Amino acid sequence: MTEAYQLTSDTAQRSDLSQAGCIGHLARVATINSRPVSGIKSIPYESIEARIESKLEASLIAFMAIEHLFYPRRKKGKIINDRYDPREFLYKQLNQDKIEFIKDRASQIPDYDFTLVATPNPNNGIFQANAMTLKRLAIDFGEHQPEQTLVRKAQVFSGYNISRLTESLTPETDPIEFSVIENVAVEAKPISQQKRDLKGLQKEAPFLGIPNFIHTIGYMGALRAQGNKLVGENVEQLTETRLINLEEIAPFAWRGIPEIFIKNSGQLVIDLSLTVHDAAVRYAIL
């Protein structure tokens, strides 16, 4: 497990990121100081692009911590090098329609903020994953948390085809997939209503979806790389993600869907959430 998760933007130039030959790209990132995520207020409309730039470095630090799990035929750190400018992938994938959508959300939602997430792309030809890979991803993340990861329901990994847990809306095949995950979750409602609400929004924004398993862990890793310790009050609210795009499964006498969150104690939890309960949902721009 790389130590990249432990790095903040202040130390990134001394990390494996610079050794991978990417520092020339990252040097162009806007020098906007990141405050703790929980303290960020609504973002001015005109500063969305600058804020995306300011989050690029943290997203790549988190990416480097997990890429070897999904690209085992490449040496660790090889995706980000002088051949690949991550910004080229970023601005091809995060097009103007998506940026305008983020601006609209920021203008409408109080305390709106988002996290830029970089993850291995399941549409890339060398991507590999299985249930053990995803479980390893979750357990490795917990190595740098105050408590080890708790896999409360192993059926999260065994109850779904791996392609459903890792699928993405993006048609791109770039080795790095960029997504924007909202830090503010949608209010709790019955899951059936959440699905209807999302379907309605997708008529105007087909790129809006629910983060997959890898996106979710990448989101938490990017938050941590920004300097958020992911422990204490409001951490569960900041990280809770229910994968409502997946089918309900019934391994017991009740039906559920995967739920991933970090407890206020700092422990990552992988669980199944009862579908009869109201669910808060976290959107991703994919």
Q: How confident is the model at residue 188 (pLDDT cuts 50, 70, 90)?
A: confident
Per-residue model confidence as pLDDT tens digits over 209-251: 999 999 999 999 999 999 999 999 999 999 999 999 999 998 8
In the predicted model, what is the mean pLDDT of residues 141-160? 94
For residues 157-176, average pLDDT: 92
pTM (two decimals): 0.84
Least confident of 28-42, 95-109, 163-177, 243-257: 28-42
Question: What's the confidence (pLDDT) of residue 3?
Answer: 39
d(CA 266, CA 271): 15
Distance separating alpha carbons of residues 129 and 139, to the nearest angstrom: 15
